[in-house]
Amino acid sequence: MKYDEKVTNRLKRLEGQIRGIIRMMDEGQDCRDVITQLSAVRSGIDRSMGVIVSDNLLECVKQAEGDTDKMNVVIQEAVNLIVKSR
């Protein structure tokens, strides 16, 4: 699968946020601020996972070429990925 550059850029931003959180912890900042930032990162990761799964699902459905059984399997796999990530 080829990953969209937008997803890669989103993950790079999250990487920067995590570095910022580590810096906050090193500086002894308030735990509420750290948790707020961690929550933002978790949300960003969840959104990234959703984009990756949906892009993959679209590609797999196209490859199924109208075969309902194949499409059902692909859709179920995508749902399982989302559920597993929770």
Give the up-direction half-sphere exposure of residue 75: CA atoms within 13 A in the CB hemisphere: 9
Q: What is the pLDDT of residue 45?
A: 93
Whether 11 and 48 have beta carbons less than 8 Å apart is answered as yes
pTM of the predicted structure, to 2 decimals: 0.77
Q: How far apart are CA 74 and CA 70, in angstroms?
A: 6
pLDDT per residue of the chain (86 residues) written in tens, 0 to 9? 788 899 999 999 999 999 999 999 999 999 999 999 999 999 999 999 888 888 888 887 778 888 888 888 888 888 888 787 76
Report residue 43 as tokens: 């949300």
Burial class (CB in 10 A: 0-12, 13-18, 19+), 74: buried
Domains identified in the chain and CATH numbers: 5-84 (1.20.58.1000)
